[in-house]
Amino acid sequence: MRVPLGSGVSTAGVRVVVAAALLSSVSLAACGGPQHTASTAVEGASGRAVTSEAEPDAREGTVAPTQGKIPIEDVARYPLPGMAFLPSAVRPDPAGRMLTYLWSEDGSLTRQLYAHDPNSGERKLMFSPQDGGATEQNLSLEEKLRRERARERGLGVTSYQWAKEANRVLVPVRGDLWVQDGLHGTPRKIAQAEGSPCIDPQITRDGEWVAYVRDAELYVVAAADKGPGPRQLTQGARGTGRTHGLAEYAAQEEMDRSHGFWWSHDGSMIAYETVDETAIPVWRIVHLGDAEPSWEDHRYPFAGAANAKVELSVIPREGGTPVAMKLAMDGESEIYLARVHWTPAGELMAELENRAQTRLQLVRFDLRTGEPELVLEERSDVWINLHHMFEPLERGEGELQGAFVWGSERSGFRHLYLVARDGRVIRPLTQGEWIVDSLVAIDETRGLVYFTASKDGPTEMHLYRVPLAGGEITRITQEPGMHGVVMDRARAIFVDSHSSMDAPPSVSIRMADDGRLVHRVPVPPDPRTAALALTPPEIVQLAASDGTPLFGTLYRPGPEAGPPPWPTIVSVYGGPHAQRVTNSWEQTVDMRAQYLRGLGYLVFELDNRGSARRGLAFEGAIKHDLGHLEVDDQVAGVQWLVAQGFADPARVGIYGWSYGGYMAAMALMRAPDTFKAAVAGAMVSSWDGYDTHYTERYMGTPAGNPEGYRSSSVMSHVEALRGDLLIVHGAIDENVHFRHSARLIDALIKARKPYELMMFPSERHMPRGEADRVYMEERIRDFFDRSLRRP
């Protein structure tokens, strides 16, 4: 599972992404995986109905809903406060003179492409589709599903791509493809949907050609004005259950790989994957809220069952017979195609991962025969965390000819290594008990490597540089908080997207050598920021039962709540490959936490063992036994709150989404003396019902770890349930199927345990309808009021 958009969770990969919204308003996913609801009141077999009005609790008496300082509509509204006018996808243009970015003039989710002149400060509309672009209503099913995989909430223009070495930009809009020459050129359509959208378009480095997938086949089209029209490049997949050039579900959802084809640097060749999912049984999802009968069928790879079969081939841009590359690892019957790379010298390389995800091989292919040559291999007793830290040198000489910079967790922490063409490590570039988050750029002229990392603490992310020859690491960004960085081609300046709990997001241009401010991109003030006057939370540190330091975020209620101890609600994610507690604005605009704080609750978030950005030993402590150690750490967090005099131990609740929903349910059942109520949103109830790549990484297979699967299932612990449970789920969630909630409900009925259910018939893993989200926040508020405020 990947983290749900709007969950306030940072993913731990090469590229650490700070989610733009918080779990408070639920967004996309968790388990890389689990997360995402028109809504109806549904009565549980032994439970109470959830209705649009706060109803009396027949067992405990009537409790009127409390009212907070923040309007509940603000909890569910996107963009979040301080982010309405924030530019996104900010990039220098190829000439390095202008910035381009997606921006909304009215502060909505609908954005267009703008150009910004740092010298004059002028912002100019660069590209705007005549029909307004993408809306939730006019997208095809294929586009909607890719948005789910990408955790994309934006509308209008949602992406664009500059050619790396030419003044030409590619803009996809509602399945059509547009290109524009420079900032002032006239947009021209080069390909259109024709009943099926143009998916995953990519432009060559020289800007001359664009490739894309339509209706399961790969196409190419000239980007130049009056150039050749679209031409189908591959044959034989359409209508067979196979696809050419599209990333399979597991790659998009769990491997952070959205592409299924790759241009060579010179644009003469394309490597592409063939995906065959016909061995995977169909999982049908019925649209229960539609007026007419409708459904969608998905090939979903359940843990322990069949995966997609993947092949890699290379074909000339002009067409011809594809050459198949041999995908194999010694001693492995099944592998994943994790990454594909072209080098500047025209060599094709790939990262192959075994199904157990304990081995990763970097191989180089012979383009004539398809035979692979092993370059290096990574092995782990925990698991392999995939990343994007592979960057070949372009002008290396001597032992640096064909060398590359590579990311590895071989030391227990992800660091950068300079590696020779034959896979020999020339030298480590970074080391220590901290992790490199991303490889930003290599400046070969000056012999410098730029990267972001947690070197100065796991709740911060900064830009650093280190000499390619090895030596002292220099920190470049100085402002406390989280920094996302994009560097220009000349490696002279970088774009710094920064925020902290005290500072809303800002975008600035800075000098690469010392971080000196060159220009701050003006961002109009968001009136909601001033109107809501949100108080930032505080970061605290405590110890797990074994003494391991843990970090948490504390939202104390205001003075009107009276003196502590206060009724307490724990906001949890808790899963691997993600982090919640950071010095970022996302913490301050966790709107559900802020809303509940305004109602007099103490709200607490804790990154338990298993969370990301703390090293393999910290993350791998949960291997093969999910929902156990994580719950123990959440209990330790509550005990710490009680010991500080903050929390009322008799009134503690917990909520979460996706993996967090799983954690909330498990905490209620495995720690009934600590937690009295739980809201479990879009949860995985049993890991045999989630996908292969995510689940098997942490749990192995059901056949190989039957006891782990049994004890990690929520259903195994229903007899211990004593508190109140509210289950929330979207009926058309194609990531964490509604089946997970249904299986738990069936077990609760058989155990004669009460529960409440809030089902959203027309929502997926990430609730998108604002009315649905408002309704959900009202019901969650009323649930906790009944459960934690009763006499």
Report which of 709, 756, 790 is spatially closest to residue 60, judged by C-alpha positions: 790
* 259 is an active site residue: no
* 298 is an active site residue: no
Please answer whether residues 191 and 210 qualify as being in contact, where contact means their C-beta atoms are separated by less than 8 angstroms.
Answer: yes
Residue 356 CB burial class (10 angstroms; 0-12, 13-18, ≥19): middle
Q: Which two tokens stand for residue 712?
A: 């990690």
Q: What is the pLDDT of residue 728?
A: 98
Q: Which three-class secondary structure state does DSSP give residue 217?
A: strand
Considering Cα of 470, then 472, then 476, then 482, what sign does the dihedral take?
positive
In angstroms, the Cα distances linking 112 to 89, 98, 125, 126, 578 are: 11, 16, 7, 8, 30
Q: Which two tokens stand for residue 160?
A: 């664009």
* 545 is an active site residue: no
Helix axes 629-643, 659-670, angle to 10 degrees: 70
Q: What is the pLDDT of residue 335?
A: 98
CA atoms of 353 and 378, how far apart (whole Å):
9
Phi, psi dihedrals of residue 583, rounded to the nearest 5°: -80, 75
Q: Which two tokens stand for residue 673?
A: 């003396």
Residue of 693, 717, 729, 765 marked active site: 765
Query: Element (H or E) spanning 695, and its range?
Result: helix 692-699
Q: Which two tokens stand for residue 166?
A: 């030419």
In angstroms, the Cα distances linking 148 to 143, 215, 591, 736, 768 are: 9, 19, 22, 12, 10
For residue 647, the tally of other CB atoms under 10 A from its CB is 25
pTM recorded for the entire structure: 0.91
CA atoms of 294 and 300, how far apart (whole Å):
19
Q: What is the pLDDT of residue 136?
A: 62
Residue of 497, 658, 685, 712 marked active site: 658
Length of the chain (residues): 791
- Residues of the chain scoring pLDDT < 70: 1-68, 131-138, 150-151, 790-791
In angstroms, the Cα distances linking 176 to 125, 129, 272, 277 are: 20, 10, 21, 27
In angstroms, the Cα distances linking 639 to 364, 538, 635, 775 are: 53, 18, 6, 32
Burial track 687-701 (b if 16+ CB lie within 10 A, e otherwise): bbbbbbbbbbbbbbb
Report which of 632, 617, 651 is spatially closest to residue 574, judged by C-alpha positions: 632
Q: What is the pLDDT of residue 377?
A: 98
CA atoms of 170 and 202, how far apart (whole Å):
8
Q: Where are the beta strands (DSSP E) in 414-461?
A: 415-419, 425-428, 436-443, 448-453
Burial track 511-543 (b if 16+ CB lie within 10 A, e otherwise): ebeebeeebebebeebebbeebebebbebbebe
Q: Which three-class secondary structure state does DSSP give residue 408?
A: strand
Residue of 256, 691, 724, 733 marked active site: 733
Residue 681 pairs with which residues in a beta bridge? 657, 728
Please answer whether residues 219 and 200 qualify as being in contact, where contact means their C-beta atoms are separated by less than 8 angstroms.
Answer: no
CA atoms of 289 and 297, how far apart (whole Å):
17
